[in-house]
Structure 1
Amino acid sequence: MNTKKFCPCKINLMLAITGVRDDGFHNLISLVAPTRFGDWLTVEVLPDTATKDELVCNMPNVPCDESNLVIKAAILFRQETGFNKFFKFNLEKQVPAGAGLGGGSSNGAIALSAINDIAGKPLSMRKLEKISAQMGSDCPLFLTGNPVVMRGRGEKVFPLTGDAKDYIGMLKLVLFKPEFSINTGWAYSQMKANPEVYLDADFAEAKLSEWLENPNITGIPLINNMQIEAFKKYPALEVVIENIKEKFRIPAMMSGSGSACFAIVNDLSDEQIVEMKSYIKSLLGETCFIADA
């Protein structure tokens, strides 16, 4: 038996880092949405003679050992359920690494969900969320398939419903990323060293609540205070984002810890979107990553 699953990447439409917790993690409030762009993962059960999981990937720089969350998902599933089968995974990567788009987390979460389906769904959604949180703070959000609000260190996931969910589902996005990546650990360490960049939690919650009450009227609160330190080290990101906002009169922002960014292009014609993509390449270089989402 085998199954093929889509692994969407995500964007942070809002990301407010509000401070450091006692356990060393950061508290956050985030509005996160899966996109129409992502990877594909094929999962099949290996014969009984197999003694380990196998992972093959089209990108040679992607590790295929236990450091990959796909393999880790299989290990955690067996530990939790006692399931005695091993799996072969074929991962078709499109999401760039080091982008802040959650590609690896999506792969791990979708692998866990697919394995659970193959095994007859022994684990509830709540249990899957708990296990996926062991792989990474943003893994649980990929299990819902819907936009969510994340709180805590990211392990508290609240799926959106109604108009808010529908509005985000209608967004047309262009994702773009320069050749360089931003290390997430570095990004958080810079914020810790410069605590003045943390956002007040009450302010962030108020902005989010205002939009959730009137999602089609007030506009998404595009907030990301991780941009502050990132722009200091990588000023090219700020230049591109600000130029897009000024030239095309559309919202644009860095997603998560970067270095990937996004622009909301609902108000642009197809010709204008093509023009914008060419403009991005003129600033970041022809080899930069660009994708519709």
Structure 2
Amino acid sequence: MNLKSRAKINLTLDVLYKRKDGYHEVKMIMQEIELSDNIVFKECNKIEVNCSHPFVPSGSSNLVYKAVELVKEATGVDAGISIEIEKKIPVAAGLGGGSSNAATTIIGLNKLWDLGLTDQEMENIASKLGADVPFFVKGGTQLATGIGEDLTKLTKAPKLWVVLAKPNLGISTKEVYQNLDANKILCHPKTDRMITAIEKKDIKEICTNVGNVLESVTLHRYSNVRILKSKMSEMGANSSLMSGSGPTVYGLCEGYDKAIQIAKGLGPLSEEIFVTKFV
């Protein structure tokens, strides 16, 4: 069995405060996009997880392996599985690739082993793997609160093309949050306005209200991320923003031709460039 494991971008990402447990309280809108990895499931008498990408671990240190263990633990199934991850989503990029792979594994095993798990039950398992993982169980357009695990399904967003550009560097989400002072955030994204814009399918308002407070850390520390964002806007993207903690920057475009034009113009600035669209 083969399943697509799609990436996401953040239309908004707001940090409200640092919680007593050390995590940050967030309010953000995540949007699933068509760029995807391919997950191949094969019957096996043990758990095997393999990925050809040099920066993605195989075996038990991969989040997919942990997802298999949690599904088995939750359901009592005594079975093995071989999983091959064919990567297309950039790694350590703010696009949720690893989280998506884990969620897709839970979905895949639910189908393959005929477990009958509900979306909520799969999200409960996913929440044990990371804050972004539950989002990918249903995907689409969702509001995430808490540390990212409290999800509200939103109206399907209107079709927009997305230009993704990832500089040749990886960024630690943990380090970005450690360097963010939630008390000193001066400009918070207007997430409620974004929700209204999505409901009305108002592309202009969607593009106007994108925002990510983590840019205050990443753009300050990495000039190439800052340059990419500026270049996308200069070349005519309806809006540009960093996704997650970075370093990937995306540009939103109403038309495919404009997206392709921007992608070609960014060639000298980034080794990994993709044109995709909202799911």
Give me the TM-score of the superposition, normalised by structure 2.
0.92
Distance in 1, matches of 2:231 and 2:204, equals: 23
Tell me how far 1:79 sits from its aligned partner. 0.6
Indicate the residue corresponding to 1:171 in structure 2: 160
Distance in 2, matches of 1:136 and 1:127, equals: 15
Distance in 1, matches of 2:6 and 2:96, equals: 9
Tell me how far 1:62 sits from its aligned partner. 1.3
Distance in 2, matches of 1:20 and 1:166, equals: 30
What is the 5 A alignment of 1:144-293?
144-161=138-155, 165-167=156-158, 170-192=159-181, 195-197=183-185, 204-216=190-202, 219-220=205-206, 221-267=209-255, 270=257, 272-284=258-270, 288-293=271-276
2:33 paired with 1:8: no
Identity among equivalent pairs (%): 27
Q: 117-126 or 127-136: which moved more? A: 117-126
Distance in 2, matches of 1:142 and 1:249, equals: 27
Structure with higher Rg: it is 1
Q: For residues 4-44 of structure 1, what are the alpha-carbon distances to aligned partners after superposition, in whole Å with 9 as ceiling and x for unaligned?
A: 10000000011111111111111111111111101000112
2:84 paired with 1:90: yes
Name the SS of the counterpart of 1:113 in structure 2: helix
Tell me how far 1:118 sits from its aligned partner. 1.2
Distance in 1, matches of 2:186 and 2:2, equals: 41
Structure 2 vs 1, CA of residues 278 and 151 (structure 1 numbering), >3 Å: closer, same or farther?
A: same
Contact 1:18 / 1:199 at 8 angstroms: preserved in 2?
Answer: no
Q: How many residues align?
A: 274
Distance in 2, matches of 1:209 and 1:278, equals: 32
Tell me how far 1:280 sits from its aligned partner. 1.3
Query: Which has more strand, going by share of residues?
Result: 2
Letter in structure 2 aligned against 1:184: T
Distance in 2, matches of 1:129 and 1:9, equals: 17
Contact 2:131 / 2:148 at 8 angstroms: preserved in 1?
Answer: yes
Contact 2:135 / 2:151 at 8 angstroms: preserved in 1?
Answer: yes
Give me the TM-score of the superposition, normalised by structure 1.
0.88
What is the 5 A alignment of 1:49-198?
50=45, 52-161=46-155, 165-167=156-158, 170-192=159-181, 195-197=183-185
Letter in structure 2 aligned against 1:176: A
Contact 1:19 / 1:27 at 8 angstroms: preserved in 2?
Answer: yes
Indicate the residue corresponding to 1:35 in structure 2: 33
Name the SS of the counterpart of 1:139 in structure 2: coil
Name the SS of the counterpart of 1:135 in structure 2: coil
Distance in 1, matches of 2:25 and 2:187, equals: 10
Distance in 1, matches of 2:198 and 2:3, equals: 30
Structure 1 residues not aligned, in runs of 5+: none
Q: For residues 31-65 of structure 1, what are the alpha-carbon distances to aligned partners after superposition, in whole Å with 9 as ceiling and x for unaligned?
A: 1111110100011221xxx3x30112221331112
Contact 2:50 / 2:59 at 8 angstroms: preserved in 1?
Answer: no
Distance in 1, matches of 2:237 and 2:98, equals: 32
Q: 21-30 or 237-246: which moved more? A: 237-246
Indicate the residue corresponding to 2:43 in structure 1: 45
Distance in 2, matches of 1:158 and 1:209, equals: 11
Tell me how far 1:125 sits from its aligned partner. 1.4
Distance in 2, matches of 1:21 and 1:118, equals: 39
